[in-house]
Amino acid sequence: MLLPLWETSSEMTKTLISLLLLLAGIHFLVDTFACLMQPLWPDLEKRLELGLGSVLWLFALWSLTTSFGQLGFGLLADRFPTRWWIWTMPAIAIVCLSCLGLSESPFITALVLVIGGLAIAAFHPEAAATAGACFPDHRSQAMSVFALAGYLGQSFGPLYSGFVTEKFGYGGLIWGIAWGLGILLLIAIGLGRCEFPQRVVYQSTPKVHELIGGKWKVVCLLVLTGTLRVGVVLGVPLALAFVLDSRQASFSETGQVLSAFMFGIGAGGIACALFIRRKNERFVLWLFPLLSIPILVTLGLLKGLLLSLAVATTGLLIGITLPIFISYGQQLLPERQRVASSLTMGVTWGIGSALIAGMMWLLRRSGHVEWSFAIYGVMVLVSGIFCLLLPHLPLPTRRSESGL
């Protein structure tokens, strides 16, 4: 039970809970469409007649756009009112990514990925900062709810695209425009009736050193630790897609396995919200991912139901820490929460995607994609060690200002 969030019945609290749930609903939609391509990357290489491993550079372009783009949009959002991005940018992403199935040109595919990726990047900093500001004294739990919806969307996306493309071909993805925009419209109407937390608009562009308040070492450590961890979150589905493709698995079978991993990530978000208290967050950050290593390194050897269970368990043990990372960043930079969100939800994912794309390109060229799981185990180990160097954050003693 989420007592810290629901323990009071005041009207303001009910409004903030409604706002948080609506933001989570849009996050589910956005991440559903962001993950449509996960089971399709290997086949896309054949469909576009690309060279061996070349599709990984499309993957890198897509990942870099959705991740590093967040930092630029985060800087703008901390200077100008950008609340309207919360509903307009998802609409652009839904339209672009639903049209991917109609493209048979590498250039058009790349262009659609970039436009859709930038829209996804613009949505996240503003929405995440608003979600965290709903309950600033219980920010990790609020971010768990917000992040959970994203992970559930990431779980549903591959399952949906795998089923649709197997039954109706790539062109079937276009129907996502109808149901995606329909749901988005209903949520946007609900958001229009909510009162948002008061926000701060900065009228001048801060200098680079002011963005992180002189906390260079701590922020670099946070980014490095997050990069290693999210690199695993990005890399496991990609490696599994290629391993299952080599076994001639169908789109729906691949989508089911990848959805199991993202479902585990989402279950970790639920566990974080339900069971992890503020005083235990730092302990959870390093211990739980280490428990995943024995399972993670064996994924390339498993098949069938055992593989699905193993990837779901791995996702849960890693996923439980991801909302805490976002919360950590926002607490380290309380007056630059959109920048902080873009660092933990964007920059780390961008660096991680470039790292994974290069590594997977080399392994694919050498014919040893299954070796990637051992490398992911090492990445988790190193990130766990780095977590021990992160600072202890003070526990709240009174109601905090949101700093939104």
CATH code for the domain of 263: 1.20.1250.20
238 found inside a domain: yes
223 found inside a domain: yes
- Per-residue pLDDT, 198: 63
245 found inside a domain: yes
199 found inside a domain: no
- Per-residue pLDDT, 200: 47
262 found inside a domain: yes
The model's pLDDT over 287-300, given as tens digits with 9 standing for 90+, comes to 998 999 999 999 99
Residue 265 Cα to chain centre, angstroms: 10
393 found inside a domain: no
Count of domains forming the chain: 1
- Per-residue pLDDT, 1: 38
The model's pLDDT over 90-137, given as tens digits with 9 standing for 90+, comes to 999 999 999 987 878 888 889 999 999 999 988 988 888 888 778 777
The model's pLDDT over 313-370, given as tens digits with 9 standing for 90+, comes to 999 999 888 878 877 777 777 666 667 767 777 788 888 888 998 899 899 888 899 8
- Per-residue pLDDT, 10: 64
- Per-residue pLDDT, 2: 46
Question: pLDDT below 70 — which residues of the chain?
Answer: 1-12, 78, 140, 198-214, 273, 334-338, 341, 394-404
pTM value surpassing 0.85: no
182 found inside a domain: yes
